[in-house]
A and B are shown apart, each in its own frame.
Chain A
Amino acid sequence: MNHEAPTFHLFGLAFNTSNVMMITIASIIVFIIAVLGSRSLQMRPTGMQNFMEWLVDFVKGIINSTMDWKTGGRFLTLGLTIIMYIFVSNMLGLPFAIAIDHELWWKSPTADPTITLTLAIMVVVLTHFYAIKVKGAKSYGSDFFKPMKFMFPLKIIEEFANTLTLGLRLYGNIYAGEVLLALLAGAGAAGIFSGILTFVPMLVWQGFSVFVGTIQAFIFTMLTMVYMAHKVSDEH
């Protein structure tokens, strides 16, 4: 709340250094996991390769449940990257938070609305991009007037609502988790007795946060594919 963000300025833009750092760390972790998982590929998979292939099949399942594979196949890498990146980002803030001189350095990047809304806007823009690419500009434009002409304002609102809910849902869940963790940690740090008292709730809430982080990564990917299918598919 009133921990300040470490900042720096570049090209006339303000950067939150902690966000930049955490985004980089999350990306590197995702990259390392993915590369380790697909480093020594074999016809008979073992260990990490099994996990990666399970993940591929999982995202494939998400895509298949929203659209047919012919149009959805191209979104597989997008979905995989989204689910891994968001999952890792959600997990980063769980074990600890680091604040130095009242500046918060270590947290989940997804506990920041700017980051989640950026991802959400990126996804929605991608849906529009692929809608034009797959169906053509004319069909894409006419979709805004279906099934009735007067639906047009609603369709416009829907786009913004989709973006907002997609981004803020993720932010809200992760931020709320971190708020409660911070409260428990603050309470636990007040004294030995309260430290013992808050140990179990802390444990429970961290477990629950792992669950929530996983679910949110899944939901974000699922909704990405749902919006994508909504734009790209022909049937309505």
Chain B
Amino acid sequence: MQFLNPDSLILGAGGFFAGDILFQLLAFIVLLFLLRKYAWGPLMGIMKKREEHITNEINEAETSRKEAQAYLNEQTKALKEARKEAQTLIESAKKQGEQQGESILQAAREEAVRMKEAALSEIEREKEQAVQTLRNEVATLSVQIASKVIAKELDEKSQEKLVDDYLKEVGESR
């Protein structure tokens, strides 16, 4: 058990050294001031700066978000208005178109009626003319036929009779 012999252990000796106290105090205070000057100061400075930077950024972001929201609202409103306007325009155009169509239709109808009437009167006229012509033709024809028949059939006896009949008729009508 040689290794358990206290002589072989590497451990600090006891004993009190007043100088250590002073040196430790001095070292710590010097370290404290050096670190404050060269490490903690700048470090905390940059942390603070970053904190402020972040705060600013957040504020800015909030502001721009609000602005964007306002713009959006405006845009939405404008869009709505535009849509409404377009609707009105379309409606009025439709109405106008309808009216125009109606009037065209009306005009066409009237035109048709007028044309129809013109055609009818034309037909009538043509018909009358035709009838007139026919009548004339018939009259001429019948006279010709009659003259032919009369020339062929009228003998003395029947001529006499005819004259008599005629005279009788005249006397009766008197």
What separation, in Å, do the CA atoms of A5 and B19 have in the docked complex? 13
- A71 beta carbon closer than 8 Å to chain B: no
How far, in Å, is B102 (CB) from chain A's closest CB? 74
Q: Do B31 and A27 touch (CB < 8 A)? A: yes
Min distance, Cβ A123 to any Cβ of chain B, angstroms: 10
Distance between Cα atoms of A187 and B18 in the complex (Å): 34
Tell me the bound Cα distance from A198 to B39 in angstroms: 42
| Partner-contacting stretch, out of A32-40, A62-70, A205-213 | A32-40
CA distance A78 to B24 in the complex (A): 15
Question: How far is A4 from B10 in the complex, measured between Cα atoms in Å?
Answer: 10
Taking CB as reference atom, which chain B residue is nearest A194?
Answer: B3
B32 touches A111 (CB 8 A): no
Question: Which residue on A lies nearest to B54, using beta carbons?
Answer: A43
Residue in chain A with minimal CB distance to B31: A27
Contact residues, A18-49 vs B (CB, 8 A): 18-20, 23-24, 27, 30-31, 34-35, 37-38, 41-43, 49
In the complex the two chains form, is A85's CB within 8 Å of B20's CB?
Answer: no
Q: Are B34 and A13 in contact (CB under 8 A)?
A: no
Number of chain A interface residues as a range: 35 or more
**B15 → chain A, closest Cβ, in Å?**
6
Asked whether A41 and B12 contact (CB < 8 A) given A15-B19, A19-B23, A118-B20, the answer is no
Verify if B2 is at the interface (C-beta below 8 Å from A): yes
**Structural contact, B19 and A38, CB atoms closer than 8 A:** no
CB atoms of A76 and B23 under 8 A apart: no
Interface 1/0s, chain A 179-192, versus B by CB < 8 A? Answer: 10011011101100
Contacts of A34 in B (CB 8 A): 35, 38-40
Chain A residue with Cβ nearest B34: A31
A31 to B22, CA, bound (A): 20
Whether the Cβ atoms of B13 and A38 lie closer than 8 Å is no
DSSP class of B's interface residues: helix, strand, loop or mixed?
helix
- Is there an interface contact between B18 and A43, defined as CB atoms closer than 8 Å? no
Taken together as a complex, chains A and B put the C-alpha atoms of A190 and B3 apart, in Å, by 6
Chain B residue numbers with a CB within 8 Å of A14 are 17-19
Say whether, besides A43-B46, A111-B12, A182-B11, A7 and B17 are in contact (CB < 8 Å).
Answer: yes
B23 surroundings in chain A (CB, below 8 A): 15, 19-20, 23
Contact B12 A3 (CB under 8 A): yes
Number of interface residues of B (CB under 8 A): 43
Asked if B162 is at the interface of the complex by the 8 Å CB criterion, the answer is no
Quick one: CB contact mask for B31-51 with A, threshold 8 Å, 1 for yes? 110111011101111110110
Determine if B171 is an interface residue (Cβ-Cβ < 8 Å): no
Interface residue? A80 (CB, 8 A): yes
CB proximity of A41 to chain B, nearest CB, Å: 4
Any B CB within 8 A of the CB of A77? yes
Cross-interface CB contact of B11 among A13, A30, A77, A104, cutoff 8 Å = A104
* Known A35-B39, A80-B35, A81-B35: A186·B25 in contact at CB below 8 Å: no
The answer to whether B12 touches A31 (Cβ under 8 A) is no
- Identify the interface centre among A31, A38, A109: most chain B CB within 10 Å of its CB: A38
Distance A2 CA – B13 CA, assembled complex (angstroms): 6
A23 touches B27 (CB 8 A): yes
Q: CA A194 – CA B19 in complex, angstroms? A: 40
Asked if residues B39 and A38 are in contact (CB atoms below 8 Å), the reply is yes
B158 located at the interface, meaning its Cβ lies under 8 Å from any Cβ of chain A in the complex: no
A189 adjacent to B3 (CB under 8 Å)? yes
Q: Please, which residue of chain B has its CB at the minimum distance from the CB of A109?
A: B24
Binding site for A on B (CB under 8 A): 2-4, 6-25, 27-28, 30-32, 34-36, 38-40, 42-47, 49-50, 53
Q: Which 8 A-B pairs have the closest CB atoms?
A: A15-B19, A34-B39, A13-B19, A186-B3, A38-B43, A41-B46, A5-B13, A16-B17
